[in-house]
Amino acid sequence: MDVTIVLLILLLGAVVTYFSGNKAASKVALLFSAVAFGASLMILNQYNQGIDCGFSAVWMTNPNILFSLKADGLALAMVLLTTVLTPLIILSSFGNNFNNAKNFYALVMFMAFAMTGTFLASDGFLYYIFWELSLIPIYFIALLWGNGDAAERKKAVIKFFIYTFAGSLFMLVGFIYLYQKAGSFQLDKLYALELSATEEFWIFLAFFFAYAIKIPIIPFHTWQANVYQKAPTVGTMLLSGIMLKMGLYSVIRWQLPIAPNAAQELLYTIVGLSIAGVIYGSIVALKQRDLKKLLAYSSLAHVGLIAAGCYTLTLDGLRGAVLQMIAHGFVIVGLFFAAEIIYRRFETRTIADMGGIRSQSPKFTSMFMILVLASVALPGTFNFVGEFTVLYSLFQTNLAFAIVGGTTIILGAFYMLRMFQQAMLGETNAKPFADVSFNEGIVFVLIIGFLLFFGLYPKPIIDLITPSIQDILVHIK
Amino acid sequence: MEHILKEIGVETYLYLSALLFSIGVFGILLRRNAIIMFMSIEIMLNAVNLLLVAFSTFHQDASGQVFVFFSMAVAAAEVAVGLAILVSIFRNLGSIDIDNLKNLKG
Amino acid sequence: METSFVLLLLLAPFVGFLSNIFFGKQLGKTGSGVLGTLAVVVSFFVSCYFFSQVSGSKQPINVHLFDWISLGKFSINFDILLDQLSLLWLLFVTGIGSLIHIYSISYMHDDENIHKFFAYLNLFIFFMITLVVGSNLLIMFIGWEGVGLCSYLLIGFWHKNQEYNDAAKKAFIMNRIGDLGFLIGIFIIGYLFNTLDFNVIKQAVLTGSNPEVAGWLSIATLCLFIGASGKSAQIPLYTWLPDAMAGPTPVSALIHAATMVTAGIFMITRLNFLFDLTPDVQNIIAVVGAITSLVAASIGLVQNDIKKVLAYSTVSQLGLMFLALGLGAYEVAVFHVITHAFFKACLFLGSGSVIHALHGEQDMRRMGGLKGAMKVTFLTFLLATLAISGIPPFAGFFSKDEILMVAFHENKVLWVIAAVASIMTAFYMFRLLYLTFFKEFRGTEEQKHHLHESPMLITFPLMVLGVLSVVGGAISLPGNSWLNHYLEPIFAHAPHEAHHLGTTEYMLMAFAVVGALIGIGIAYSKYIKKSEVPAEDSEITGFAKVLYNKYYVDEAYMAVIVKPIYSLSKFLRDYIETGLSQIIFGFGAVADGLALQGKKLQNGNIGFYLFAFVFGLCSVVFYLFFLR
Amino acid sequence: MSTIIAIAVLGVVCLLAEIFNLRKAIIPITVAGLLAILGMTVTEFNTTESYYNNMIVVNRFTVAFSSLFILLTLFLVTLSHHFYKNRPSKVSDFIAIKIFLLLGAVAMVSFGNLAMFFLGLEILSISLYILAGSKPLSLKSNEAGMKYFLMGSFASGVILFGIALIYGAVASFDMNMIYEASNSAATGDWFYIGVCMITVGMLFKIAAVPFHFWAPDVYEGAPALTTATMSTLAKVVAMATFFKLNMAMNGNMNFAYETVIVIISIFSMTVGNIMALRQNNIKRMLAFSGISHAGFMLMALLNLSNTTGSLFYYVTAYTLAGIAAFAVILYVCNDKDDESITFFNGLGKNNPVMAAVLSASLLSMAGIPIFSGFFAKFFILNQTLQAGYLILVIAGIINSIISVYYYFKVISAMYTKEPNEAKKPVPFEYYVVAVLAIGLNIAIGLFPSCLMDLL
């Protein structure tokens, strides 16, 4: 069995969901995504036994393109992240009634398929196709099932689409250029390429455009907050939980090993930029009025830190970045879900209109609180493991980076607790707030359970990703 | 025939037909009456025909003259179609001034 | 065997936390309280067991639980270290913790969320134990942040009041500022020694000294000290502690007086071998400690809220401990931590008892004359007050006196500051005592009517702590210190030779006692003789007003740090964000404008089209044949 | 060769059918005939032969393109059935003209002699003039016909002049001779001026800037099916012929000529895309989009020896997407006066399949994977970069970004806006053509090799 099975299940899931009718769609999608998760666990098991689960077949000969999937620990970790979050995200949407549910869930499944493909592809061209492919479903999800004023939404979503599309086209040029040099899009061929300093610089920059917009690193982030706010929560979760990680993963998988010298050259600039994003995101988040926007900026801050970790080019940086990607994926999905739950009951996302929820729904409050704490990387949560490792790598690069980047733990606590206080605490709200339902509870419990368990025992994940990261580091150094 | 060409020079024919061609082009550019524009196109085509014939003689090769027949036939067909369109325009507009045809733009 | 006991030690409170969170409601109010208390008592007994083991064998116990985080060059394990220092802390954390749990059963009985209260308290004990027993810096950091979290949860326990929530948030964020320092310190140590394990670092420090290390080490210890000053409320991060009094009184007693706030001292003592190598940082610590103690004491002079006075007193006492740490007298600091835990817990619980009796009244101007109605409370309070004021032979006398002695030997200026702070302490503590328990009752009639001694569950812990405040000094008597001896293996350098008790020492003791008595005397003359009652808020003027408003430090922080950040945030949100957005839209607008212009070109005029055609033809020909 | 004859016969059959009152059978007969011809053509794939003194050349290139043209005509004829429902008496004419148009197209790519090229070109053009003006009562159609006619015949004149000059230099219309002449140093300036004029004429036919002005007006004014023909069939015929001409005439194509192509390509892409941003008529929008695609296709000329496959792939992808899009446009705008984008509002609700087809075809044109338009752009850009024109690649990329905006404008109108009219049934032919075309489009996207390796 190789990794194509996961892709096939997800794709099949998308098709079956589409034909299953509006009523059954969510359950069918849940089923298929859960099966995909099971399949990826089996792949993981195989991988741990030392069986190569990759796949490779010739797709075209002219130009020379292979349909090749590489399943090393890093890719598997990201695939698992995708396949575990997808059912959770689908489950989280059970309380919503979407028009045309079959389309909606089919798109969600398709997006999961595309993102999984992005993580697995080891042929640059194939990778690019999956990368772009994941953009279409989220465009429709945000456009059609989003909230708020339709014209505004359209504007935000099209901006997002064009912006990210623009970035990735530059990456495509980079890939084409590399192809001219290497005669292949294969990952290892591209790794082995000897490029001149100028070439590396431009290749690095071309990739950087694509990734900086996707991740996003300031000042390329302007699409983010609006889209997060306007998209339906499921879309926001997909975007923030998984899609951002595509950018970060790609930095590690493609950009750094292909253009290591340029990365070394630009290290200070780019790490500095990423860290500036941490501060910027945190400060902007402080005074947001909309809960989803606040979370969007918090996400900006967190991914800034992750990106900084990636670009330090150290083992700790890369490893911490991957850990933090996984952790952030979970926590941000949880937080957006919390926002969604409040919205389901109060029909508002404005923080000022909330408050006093704690006395009405202790369970929800506790779960939200734990997520907030995980988000500020309290030790004991998985986020801490990642953030600590990343900050340590920043320190190895430069003390100032660590100090400035470290302010995230202060500012993060500042805006998150401020939000929590305004949204949840205070005099009991006049409007009734039902506590979490069973379905909602499951999502929270799974997310929280994951974060806490791996917070105390991250070893399995660390062991999974470390060998592949070391392989990549060989090419970087 | 040959000596005539030698006496006058093939370049001269070339210049002549280039001149005729330019007259046609300027006619098209400057006149606004559709019929006159058609005529200018005919002048252009005939300029080419002249050139083809001249070259045919110059090269002692008949294919050029054959080509002229093709070209004349085509020109006739073309003008027939053009006139048909013009007629329906005239029916609709009552005018064949090309400046009236400005509805499609932007 | 040891592993399972260690797990019992750690997990007992955690299980208590879980069961209180999930089943607290079903257990009933008393039930959850008893459960919570039992959980801590179990830990206390396990600690006693280990204590007896270790003090017998003198061998620290190391337990490896599991691997945790791997970094590039080293990995961090989840290991437990039970040595003399951690056991000492364990004992008083779980011991005082148990007492306060018992106290809370009664104190919090009327609160609807009592099960949560006990859950949080248990969680706090769990994290505190983690902090203390961790064998490396990062596990300590788990506990460190964890207790901060519990502090946050408990300060904001009455979550309907947003001011309390503000206080909780402030505490958490202030702590986090320190935590960043701590974290950076950890990084540097990890970088220098490739380990975070205390014992390994100690070995490394003791065996080799690398000059290159020294520079970094100073930064590391400085950062660690910043961490400690956050948690232990030193200048400039002390402002959260007085605000933290918003929490229920048992919380103030447990977390914000006896245990959590001493974590900074624990950490520095734990890493004494590092701080010994960086005398510059030690000086900073000593100075900061001394100044904190003076500033806090001076603010305490004029506060009217009974818990605020105690809070400033705590800050001040913590300052004294840091002074000792900075002077290298770690064992003295530890000694003071322990005695302080006894008498300060007693004071807080006593004040809680008073507040309980007065149905939430905390302003001393509305108290007075309670000694008749609340005999046990008064008596224990008196003992603890004497202890804190440094009257022999109460516990506080010995510990405080040792600090002063060390200071006298090391630096006279610091000694003067500490001595003044001590005198102030004696004054405001007796001011507190007099205003609360003596003279006439100044509250409402209704309160007066309901005045009563607290129930047994409240007075019992008071009595135990009262007794400890009296005899606690015995663990480290001058000249024959059990504590110094016990802690010896912890320190890189042998503890200061117990000072030879010469004339100077006796002079100093006498001086200290006289100073304390002067403070008490002033208080007596003001509040007993002249029967003064502190002025109402609006009437306070002059320097007293500055003191009463805590030197306006909070306001200054607000104006200098918080407000600018808020304005910056608004500015970024309203201008920069939109501006950046506009830039992106600008590209679109440019294209759009071009499109509009282009539409004019596409004017429908066939003449123009033909002209463009000819123009194109000509330019191509021209370019190809004439420009070439 | 047999292809051309068969097509001519089929055209005559169409006309005869009208005479014998078999009006209803015309379209089925034509479709069947075209299918047969398609099959026949495909079997000729591996033969390389020339006929009539090298007048007609059959090789892989011509067979591949001819097959594509036949396929496109097949689609267009199928669409005709419903489109000309209200004008039954004219059906035979329109179908016959389309078949002759195809004849011209096949002649154009199969030429071995400039005379054949010219004849093919004129057959194609004249058919299109007629089709463009084929609604005699509509002023728009008249205007479109007139504009197209005037400019087209002007361009024909220019091409003819070019041919005459080449003839003057080479003394033959035969492509082999011309090829040799282009490779010899002794060839005079006449020849190059001639090449240049033919180039300009062909640039007009594919609607490249600055010879593009006719396209939007004519596309808008002509009946929708004619627009479909022009934007798909006519454009790629011209492109394929232009490519073939270049292969023959530019044996030593110099740098300056390439520069001209580069500049025109960049301008075509940019002008086409930017102008398309503000269009409200979808046909007009597609006209500008077609201009920008012409710019892309021009890139193929910069790497003549390698790009045949890429060009073929590109035109296939583009035309299939175009046919699918026009099938939907015909469906939506059949009973309307013009083709405003607002008519597409709410199509996603009224008719999800047609909306999906249109979205897919627009996405394909925008160059989004997994639709073949993406691969097409990729292959072309890849070849262009190989030829060393990084600047052109970057321009192409930037233009792709711009183009997304207007394609998505239509898509979001279909899905987000409320429909302004009731549902109406989809004619079966439109449905089949739309789905088939987009299906083929996606299929060649998934298996690009099947086309790329042909040539």
Spell out the domain ranges in chain A. Answer: 269-477
Taking residues C488-492, what's their average pLDDT?
80
If DSSP codes are grouped into helix, strand and coil, which group holds residue A58?
A: strand
Q: What is the mean pLDDT of chain A?
A: 91
| Residue A364 · residue A343 · CB < 8 Å | no
Chain A interface test: which of C183, C191, C194 (most A C-beta within 10 Å): C183
Q: Which residues of A touch D361 (CB under 8 A)?
A: none
Residue of chain A with shortest Cα separation from C188:
A395
Residue C113 resides in a domain: no
Domain annotation covers residue D406:
yes
Most confident of C482-486, C543-547, D109-113: D109-113
- Domain locations in chain B as residue ranges: 1-94
Give the pLDDT of residue D422: 84
Q: Are A16 and A93 in contact (CB under 8 A)?
A: no
Q: Pick from A294, A302, A156, A157: which is nearest to A217 by CA? A: A302
Omega prior to D263 cis, within 30 of 0? no
Q: What backbone torsions phi and psi does residue C14 show, to the nearest 5 degrees?
A: -70, -40
Question: Checking DSSP bridges between strand C480-481 and strand A55-60, what pairing results, if any?
Answer: unpaired
Q: Does a structural domain hold residue D75?
A: no
Distance CA D206, CA D319 (A): 13
Q: How far is CA C136 from the centre of its chain?
A: 20
The residue with greater pLDDT, C444 or D401, is D401
**Angstroms from C589 CA to nearest CA on chain B:** 18
| C566 in A contact zone (CB under 8 Å) | yes
Task: Check residue D364 and give its pLDDT.
Answer: 94
Confidence class of residue A295 from pLDDT cuts 50, 70 and 90? Answer: very high
- D51 reaches C (C-beta below 8 A): no
Structure tokens at C283: 């000086």
Q: For domain B1-94, is the CATH number 1.10.287.3510?
A: yes
Check B41 against D154: CB less than 8 A apart: yes
Asked if the Cβ–Cβ distance from D136 to B51 is below 8 Å, we say no
> Pick the residue with more confidence: C282 or C539?
C282
Picking from C596, C608, C624, the nearest residue to D278 by CB comes out as C596
For chain C, the chains sharing at least 3 beta-carbon pairs closer than 8 angstroms are A, B, D
Selected for mutation to probe chain C from B29, B30, B41, B104 (highest C CB count within 10 Å) is B29
- Contact list in B for residue C606 (CB cut-off 8 A) is 98, 101
- Is residue B28 within 8 A of residue B36, CB to CB? The reply is no
Question: Cβ(D177)–Cβ(D211) under 8 Å?
Answer: no
Q: How confident is the model at residue D396 (pLDDT cuts 50, 70, 90)?
A: very high
What value does the mean pLDDT take over residues D284-303?
92
DSSP label at D293? H
Query: Which residue among D151, D257, D260 places its CB closest to the CB of C610?
Result: D151
Burial class (CB in 10 A: 0-12, 13-18, 19+), D305: exposed
Radius of gyration of chain B (CA): 18
Residue A164 has pLDDT above 60, yes or no: yes
| Cβ count within 10 A of residue C18 | 17
pLDDT band of D116, cuts 50, 70, 90: very high
Domain span at residue D333 reads 265-455
Nearest CB to B41 within list D146, D153, D221: D153
Say how far apart CA C151 and CA C141 lie, in whole Å: 15
**Contact residues on chain B for D130, CB-CB shorter than 8 A:** 81, 84
Q: Is C604 within 8 Å of B98 when comparing Cβ atoms?
A: no
Flag whether pLDDT at C501 surpasses 80: no
Token pair 């490739």 is found at C194
Collect all residues of chain A within an 8 Å Cβ-Cβ radius of residue D408: 139, 158, 161-162
pLDDT-derived band at A91, boundaries 50, 70, 90? very high
Number of domains in chain D: 1
Give residue C593's domain range. 556-627
Determine, for residues B14 and D168 on separate chains, whether the beta-carbon distance falls below 8 Å: yes
Q: Contact partners of A by the rule of 3+ C-beta pairs under 8 A?
A: C, D
Q: Do B104 and D216 touch (CB under 8 A)?
A: yes
Question: Alpha-carbon distance A448 to C608, whole Å?
Answer: 70
Contact A162 D405 (CB under 8 A): yes
Q: Which of residues 552-611 of C touch B (CB under 8 A)?
A: 599, 602-607, 610-611
**Mean pLDDT to the nearest integer, D234-249:** 91
Q: What is the pLDDT of residue C72?
A: 76
- Find the range with the poorest average confidence among A87-91, C532-536, C570-574: C532-536
For tokens 């947001």, name the residue.
Answer: A288
Put simply, the answer to whether D217 touches B34 (Cβ < 8 Å) is: no
Cα separations (Å) of A250 from A187, A190, C283, C504? 12, 14, 49, 71
Residue C583, domain member (yes or no): yes
Q: Of chain D residues 387-406, which have a CB less than 8 A from chain A? A: 390, 393-394, 397, 400-401, 404-405
> In this predicted model, what pLDDT tens digit does every residue of B9-56 receive, in sequence order?
888 888 999 999 999 999 999 988 999 999 999 999 999 999 999 999
pLDDT in tens, A297-353: 999 999 999 999 999 999 989 999 999 999 999 999 999 999 999 998 888 889 888
Residue-wise pLDDT tens digits, C336-347: 888 888 888 898
Residue A55, helix vs strand vs coil: strand
Which helix (H) or strand (E) covers residue A57, if one does? Answer: strand A55-60
SS3 C204: helix
Q: Answer whether A459 sits within 8 Å of C572, measured CB to CB.
A: no
Flag if D449 and A165 touch (Cβ within 8 Å).
no
Nearest to A426 among C160, C176, C585 (CB): C160
Tokens of D392: 């052109």
How far is the alpha carbon of B94 from chain D, nearest alpha carbon, in Å?
Answer: 12
Q: Which of C602, C606, C614 sits opposite B98 (nearest CB)?
A: C606
Please indicate whether, in this complex, the C-beta atoms of C612 and D210 are within 8 angstroms of each other: yes
How much of chain D exceeds pLDDT 70, in percent? 99
The chain C residue lying nearest B105, using CA atoms, is: C604
Q: Please say if the pLDDT value at position C54 is more than 90.
A: no
Q: Band the pLDDT of C126: cuts 50, 70, 90.
A: very high
Q: What is the pLDDT of residue C619?
A: 92
Which pLDDT band, with edges at 50, 70 and 90, does A10 fall under?
A: very high
Tokens found for residue A380: 């004991």
Residue of B17, B101, B102, B105 to mutate, testing the D interface (most D Cβ within 10 Å of its Cβ) = B101
Residue D190 has pLDDT above 90, yes or no: no
pLDDT band, residue C108 (cuts 50/70/90): confident
pLDDT at residue D189, as a whole number = 78
Cβ neighbours of B101 in C, within 8 Å = 604, 606
Contact call for B67 and D136, based on CB within 8 A: no
Average pLDDT of every residue of chain D = 90
Q: Which has more pLDDT, D8 or D254? A: D8
Sign of the dihedral defined by the CA atoms of residues A372, A376, A379, A385, in that order: positive
A125 touches chain C (CB under 8 A): no
Residues 415-444 in A contacting C (C-alpha not used; CB under 8 Å): 417-418, 421, 425-428
Using a CB–CB cutoff of 8 Å, tell me whether B59 touches chain D: yes
| Residue A452 at interface with chain C, using a CB cutoff of 8 Å | no
Which three-class secondary structure state does DSSP give residue D59? coil
Of C345, C388, C413, the C-alpha closest to C516 is C388
Residue D35 maps to a domain = no
Nearest CB to A62; choose among D390, D412, D453: D453
- In angstroms, the CA C237 to CA C222 distance is 14
Interface membership of A154 toward D (CB under 8 Å): yes
Q: Which of residues 175-204 of C touch A (CB under 8 A)?
A: 176-177, 179-180, 183-184, 187-188, 190-191
Give the total number of structural domains in chain C: 1
- ipTM for the predicted complex: 0.90
Residue C606 in contact with partner chain D when CB distance is under 8 A: yes
Chains B and A are touching, with contact defined as 3 or more CB–CB pairs separated by less than 8 Å = no
Of the listed ranges C401-410, C569-578, D72-81, D237-246, the one predicted with least confidence:
C401-410
Of D178, D163, D165, D168, nearest in space to D120 by CA = D163
* Alpha carbons A194 and A357: distance in angstroms, whole number: 60
Residue B74 with chain D: CB contacts under 8 Å: 118-119, 122, 126, 156
For residues C282-307, give the mean pLDDT.
89
pLDDT band at C212 (very low <50, low <70, confident <90, very high): low
For A:161-180, CB contacts with D below 8 A are: 161-162, 165-166, 169-170, 172-173, 176-177, 179-180
Residue of D368, D383, D406, D455 best to disrupt the A interface, most CBs of A under 10 A: D368
